[in-house]
A and B are shown apart, each in its own frame.
Chain A
Amino acid sequence: MRLGLVIDLDTCVGCHACAVACKQWNTSGTLGPLSDYEPYGAAPSGVWVNRVRSYEQGQYPHSKTVNLPLSCMHCDRPPCVDVCPTGASYKREADGVVLVDDAKCMGCNYCAWACPYGARELDTASGTMKKCTLCIDRIYDTRLPEAERQPACVLACPANARHFGDLDDPDSEVSRLVRERRGYPLLPEMGCEPVNHYLPPRPAAASRPPAAAPAEAGGQGRAAAVQEWANRIVRR
């Protein structure tokens, strides 16, 4: 299996539900606690392993706001694992999930520098690296109803923009989405071979009704037209 996420940029409204769900689940989970620094102070910050960034494309009035949720891509060639001097960072054989062994991690931050996606964060309170576990403490938990054996962020996403599954299985929903919607990995040129994929905005034209017969141009006030309409018999 190569488990990962497929994120639909056509419907992601940048609501941060996934980011907060991730924070909420993981602060009491296997990664936790996820520290918050100065939570009520002048510079509130903390450890989040899924963040949503927004940027604009194009120029007014044809600009578009793009929301881009970013978490670990569970790369097939993860540079973070390469650089880890203690062997704490690893990629699981069974499912491709990239994890950190907290007991071995010494918080040197090399992996964070190596990751081109900014997916790793140092928790200064624990002195260890935190990153997306693909909610490994949910997805295999058979005590959960099957529908809930999903990452917290996928469960939460109100816009149905996040999909979890096996990208090795050509019949999985995620593989189908990538195929049909021409999904792509981020920064392929970095050579990390990310498992996670993003779906581009659907072409607007495809969802647009064909243009109706062009309206008479320059329709100026024609109150007279009201009289021109012959009444039709329509039974009430």
Chain B
Amino acid sequence: MSAVPESEIPADVPELEPREGQQVRYTTCYMCACRCGIKVTLENGRVRFIQGNPDHPVNRGVLCAKGNAGIMKQYSRAKLRAPLRRKPGSERGAGEFEEISWEEALDELTERLRRIRAEDPKKLAYFTGRDQMQALTGLWASQFGTINWAAHGGFCSVNMATAGLYTLGHAFWEFGDPDWERTRYFVLWGTAEDHASNPFKRGIDQVKRNGGRFVAVNPVRTGYQAVADEWVPIRPGTDGMLAMALGHCLLRDGQFDWAYLVRYTNAPQLVVQTPGEPGDGLILRDEDGAPLVWDLEQEACVDGRQAEIAPALFGAYTAPDGRPVKTAMTLLAERYLDAAYAPERAAEVCGIPAADIERLAAELAHVAFEEAIEVPCEWTDWAGRKHDRFIGRPVSMHAMRGVSAHSNGFQAARAIHTLQLLLGSVEVPGGHRAKPPYPRPVPPPARPARETAPDTPLGGSPLGFPVAPEDLVVDAAGEPLRIDKAFSWQAPLSAHGKMHTVITNAVAGDPYPIDTLMLFMANMAWNSAMNTAQIQELLCAKDEQGAYRLPYLVVSDAFHSETVQFADLVLPDTTYLERYDCISMLDRPISEPDGPADAIRQPILEPEGDVRPWQEVMIELGARLGLPAFTNDDGSPRYAGYNDFIVHYERAPGIGFLAGWRGADGDKPLRGEPNPQQWQRYIDNGAFFKYELPLSQQFYKFANKGYLEWAHEVGFIGAAEPIVMALYAEPLQRFRLAGQGLYDGPAPPDATDAERIAAYCDPLPLFYQPLEERRIEADGHPAYPFHAVTQRPMTMYHAWDSQNAWLRQILAQNHLYMNRARGEALGLADGDWVWVESHNGRIRAQLRLMEGTQADTVWSWNGMGKQAGIWGLEPGAPEATRGFLVNHLIDDRLPAREGEKPLSNSDPVTGQAAWYDLRVRVYKAAPEEQGSAYPPSPTFRPPPGVENGPLALLRYATHRARELRRSLRDTLTRGGWQ
């Protein structure tokens, strides 16, 4: 960027911007989950301008449409103004509220929570949405003593996180990114406007500027796909098949990184081959638990963790105890080279010509191996061997929601990571790089808490990474202990919980009834729910005595959402510009591959109305309830507020919520005693902290001595030992054995669970048709020829509202998009209103025909439809009259089968909500049905303090414009042209 040189600045331009009286503050954006740094100019106590912070590691000065629309979030008229209580005697959902004071609200809540905690703490279910403060809410929940806590990952992208952490020890997005600077070939799988926003737009530009190639695998060509060099229009739910077919070609042609697989993955480890017997499929280990490999020189099984051995990558051998074994790589190759994964077969499944698959595989191999790069730098590997360069395979990939939101998404994501491993492109220059504190051991060594007791904190976090059936959160009979049935036989690796099942389960009392559901920033009665209409009914369901089946619903949100409407108690939150906050490494980091980073938010505006940041409420409730972490020994509150907590709380000695400027003098980055000046140091540094690793520690972190020792010192990993990536995911085999009745330990009591565990908990990637569509076909439902998927528009992704006065001018109504030729063949025209019908119901939507949609796919913008009168919108707003939610069509359970207990519509391994498995048919609505969406929305009244009446005109400005009059010379010459 070049500015006009000062010498060239014309004399006739007055100072147009009244900078006197303006102040500049730095904080962190919260219009979405990207968490960019922002520089906010204030004028007369109002926001003049929000721009990107040029120094911030996430966005380097740029700012997306959402970030630029922060002003209209701040001054939104949907903002809640005071705590609200459902009027005594009124029906839940009717929206009859009375304002109460915070004192009353917190007294009422404290009393209730105190009783629950004394009786059975898990009767409190506490689930949070797009909050990104799980370090605090998780700590609070475990201090309270309930295992029924999670954030929204279970219905968002847990398949990606889990597949990554069980394969690489890191994953996509917050855990790892393409090496934008060096990558020469970038493959984007599935929707990505979601995660991430600005870093991806910057990255795509970098790749293209460097002459790299960008391939987009996606059923829809919008968004980032628009600028892809190649668009691969894949049929939804088949990405795993494509990834495996690419792997098939690479293996068939010998195009894989032999040395990389031997050195850094468990590919050479020996796997026991005794089908039908206990121990089958587990890694062969010695008495000390060391995994064994076959050493080609010693011709014997040796401890595979040693340096300098010569492990066989392929082959079948005999273990010292006589059992047959094969290398994990051999099993992988056998799986992949099967005709089931040949390009010809994938072509049928994915709708991509076999020749294209062959070509893509050849291109991947070419760039990885023929265009390998080197970064000269001395570094030392885990065994102390010195190297003078990092070898790079400049192929990188990214995948997110599109792959994740299928019931085969975990295995699909595993298949993508496997492809990366075959190419040797993980944690290398030009490849996919981990972001510290990742990589972590595969999987990270935390197991989910199980035991609860009255008035007692949990022994650990409610969430974790099971590696064996013993780690499940089930009772002695094998039944789920969590309300969402996470970590049960129905979803053993549900590392982010299963928020999308909570309301249905709680109302059904399955596995048990609860007392209180506390929701923060989650629209569970609307666009975050499957089967939306039914969820709203369930929220109001009563038992025979006339009592609500879900006795008490507490909602904290800054805005009047559909869910607020159903609350018994509403606790109004602040906006992001009105609060203390931290983006902690103990949570979802904002680190970059070259070093860890974290950030703060500072209040730069006074909150409007009687509202409080939820973080402060957490701290206060913690103290009121006497939770040990929030209370002094004498029972007094330990922290003055959230920023006091952030600075002084230590999770382990020297480790707190913020990593910057620790130590009494602020000279200890990452680990050190609390520094009372820490907060100010963040403010002085533009509200963030970034630690840059020396170049010698930036790559091969999993096997880089310098990095591993440092990461151990600062508490990222428990030991400075190499992290071996898992081509073969042994934990899954332990579950599978349990499903087969061959595990020496807990086993699933239910036959369906056992069958599913045995089928899907496969230690090697596999492709299977998504569960719902398979059932629908098998059950002989009427034909549903289309896959239906959704994505969020770039102007709204992760923005948990769309009432923004500026952004809704860009998009206020969603349409159903269909391939043009396909639509015309069905006799449909652009603009028609059509019925969209699934096995679960039907909706009416307005159709748009377009070229850039895969022929078997229809799609829409998600979360656009609103209920009438909510979000500060006038009841006639297009969001409510013409917009729609696809969610109505999606059942939260799989189509029932005789004699089978209800099964969640989720990935059977991780419990990830299978939003995109939906199949529909589409037909034209009758003439009298044209013009409006179905189901129609009832009109809701806003609560006290929220306005939704007509507003004809809005003219936002922080000062009166200074006029720019033309100069006399200009006037005389009428400009400089003839």
Residues of A near any B CB (own CB < 8 A): 1, 3, 10-17, 19-21, 23-25, 27-46, 48, 54, 56, 58-61, 63-67, 76-78, 81, 87, 90-96, 98-99, 101-103, 125, 133, 136-143, 146-150, 152, 154-161, 163-166, 172-174, 201-202, 204, 206-223, 225-227, 229, 231-236
User: Between A and B, how many residue pairs show CB distances below 8 Å?
Assistant: 407
A207-B43 in contact given A11-B204, A90-B974, A158-B62 (Cβ < 8 Å): no
Which of A152, A209, A211 makes the CB contact (< 8 A) with B213?
Answer: A209
CB-based contact A41/B227 at 8 Å? no
Which of B59, B71, B344, B878 makes the CB contact (< 8 A) with A42?
Answer: B878
CB-based contact A63/B61 at 8 Å? no
Q: Which of B954-975 contact A (CB under 8 A)?
A: 954-959, 961-966, 969-971, 973-975
CB-based contact B852/A234 at 8 Å? no
Interface residue SS majority, chain A: loop
CB neighbours (8 Å) of A46 from chain B are: 806, 809, 954
Which of A15, A65, A78, A93 makes the CB contact (< 8 A) with B201?
Answer: A15
CB neighbours (8 Å) of B204 from chain A are: 11, 13, 159
CB-based contact B51/A156 at 8 Å? yes
Beta-carbon nearest neighbor of B307 in chain A: A236
CB-based contact A222/B808 at 8 Å? no
A60-B874 in contact given A44-B809, A125-B953, A235-B310 (Cβ < 8 Å): no
A16-B951 in contact given A160-B202, A232-B313, A234-B258 (Cβ < 8 Å): no
CB neighbours (8 Å) of B297 from chain A are: 233
CB neighbours (8 Å) of B313 from chain A are: 229, 231-232, 234
Binary contact readout B740-755 vs A (1 if CB under 8 angstroms, 0 otherwise): 0000000000000000
CB-based contact A11/B227 at 8 Å? yes
CB neighbours (8 Å) of B363 from chain A are: 208-209, 211-212
* Closest CB in chain B relative to A173 CB, distance in Å: 5
A23-B976 in contact given A13-B794, A133-B964, A221-B340 (Cβ < 8 Å): no
Question: Considering the chains assembled together, what is the distance between the CA atoms of A10 and B226 in angstroms?
Answer: 9
Q: Which of B546-605 contact A (CB under 8 A)?
A: none
A212-B964 in contact given A155-B62, A202-B208 (Cβ < 8 Å): no
Beta-carbon nearest neighbor of B253 in chain A: A215
* Closest CB in chain B relative to A216 CB, distance in Å: 7
CB-based contact B878/A36 at 8 Å? no
CB-based contact B254/A19 at 8 Å? no
CB-based contact B222/A41 at 8 Å? no
* Closest CB in chain A relative to B300 CB, distance in Å: 14
Q: Which of B4-12, B431-439, B477-485, B668-676 contacts A (4 or more CB under 8 A)?
A: B4-12
A212-B342 in contact given A16-B810, A95-B10 (Cβ < 8 Å): no
CB neighbours (8 Å) of A30 from chain B are: 16-17, 961-964
A60-B819 in contact given A207-B229, A215-B358 (Cβ < 8 Å): yes
* Closest CB in chain A relative to B361 CB, distance in Å: 7
A41-B950 in contact given A11-B204, A163-B1, A220-B342 (Cβ < 8 Å): yes
| Interface residue? B406 (CB, 8 A) | no
Beta-carbon nearest neighbor of A42 in chain B: B876
CB-based contact B953/A35 at 8 Å? yes
Question: Considering the chains assembled together, what is the distance between the CA atoms of A17 and B32 in angstroms?
Answer: 14
Question: Considering the chains assembled together, what is the distance between the CA atoms of A42 and B957 in angstroms?
Answer: 23
Which of A76, A143, A225 makes the CB contact (< 8 A) with B337?
Answer: A225
Question: Considering the chains assembled together, what is the distance between the CA atoms of A65 and B227 in angstroms?
Answer: 8
Question: Considering the chains assembled together, what is the distance between the CA atoms of A10 and B205 in angstroms?
Answer: 9
* Closest CB in chain B relative to A78 CB, distance in Å: 7
CB-based contact B223/A13 at 8 Å? yes
A92-B976 in contact given A65-B221, A99-B964, A207-B213 (Cβ < 8 Å): yes
CB-based contact B3/A221 at 8 Å? no
Beta-carbon nearest neighbor of A172 in chain B: B2
CB neighbours (8 Å) of A1 from chain B are: 4, 8
Number of B residues, CB within 8 Å of A:
153
* Closest CB in chain B relative to A96 CB, distance in Å: 7
Which of B251, B366, B951, B966 makes the CB contact (< 8 A) with A209?
Answer: B366
A136-B964 in contact given A41-B876, A93-B969, A236-B309 (Cβ < 8 Å): yes
CB neighbours (8 Å) of A64 from chain B are: 221, 226, 231, 852
A60-B233 in contact given A44-B812, A156-B63, A160-B202 (Cβ < 8 Å): yes
CB neighbours (8 Å) of A223 from chain B are: 333-334, 337-338
CB-based contact A208/B249 at 8 Å? no
* Closest CB in chain B relative to A177 CB, distance in Å: 11
Beta-carbon nearest neighbor of B383 in chain A: A236
Binary contact readout B938-949 vs A (1 if CB under 8 angstroms, 0 otherwise): 000000000010
| Interface residue? B197 (CB, 8 A) | yes
Which of A34, A164, A233 makes the CB contact (< 8 A) with B310?
Answer: A233
* Closest CB in chain A relative to B692 CB, distance in Å: 21
CB neighbours (8 Å) of A41 from chain B are: 873-874, 876-877, 950-952
CB neighbours (8 Å) of B67 from chain A are: 17
Which of B222, B254, B976 makes the CB contact (< 8 A) with A65?
Answer: B222
Question: Considering the chains assembled together, what is the distance between the CA atoms of A81 and B307 in angstroms?
Answer: 77
CB neighbours (8 Å) of A95 from chain B are: 4, 10
Closest 8 CB pairs of A and B: A221-B339, A91-B975, A63-B851, A158-B201, A93-B976, A137-B16, A33-B955, A65-B226
Question: Considering the chains assembled together, what is the distance between the CA atoms of A125 and B262 in angstroms?
Answer: 71
CB-based contact A159/B205 at 8 Å? yes
CB-based contact B202/A234 at 8 Å? no
Which of B251, B808, B962 makes the CB contact (< 8 A) with A44?
Answer: B808
CB-based contact A101/B964 at 8 Å? yes
A36-B953 in contact given A65-B225, A136-B964, A207-B208 (Cβ < 8 Å): yes
CB neighbours (8 Å) of A156 from chain B are: 51-52, 62-64, 68
CB-based contact A219/B806 at 8 Å? no
CB neighbours (8 Å) of B860 from chain A are: none
CB neighbours (8 Å) of A158 from chain B are: 59, 62-64, 197-198, 201-202
CB neighbours (8 Å) of A226 from chain B are: 314, 330, 333-334, 337
A60-B959 in contact given A41-B950, A44-B809, A215-B362 (Cβ < 8 Å): no
| Contacts A/B (CB < 8 Å), 5 sampled | A11-B209, A35-B953, A78-B977, A140-B13, A219-B343
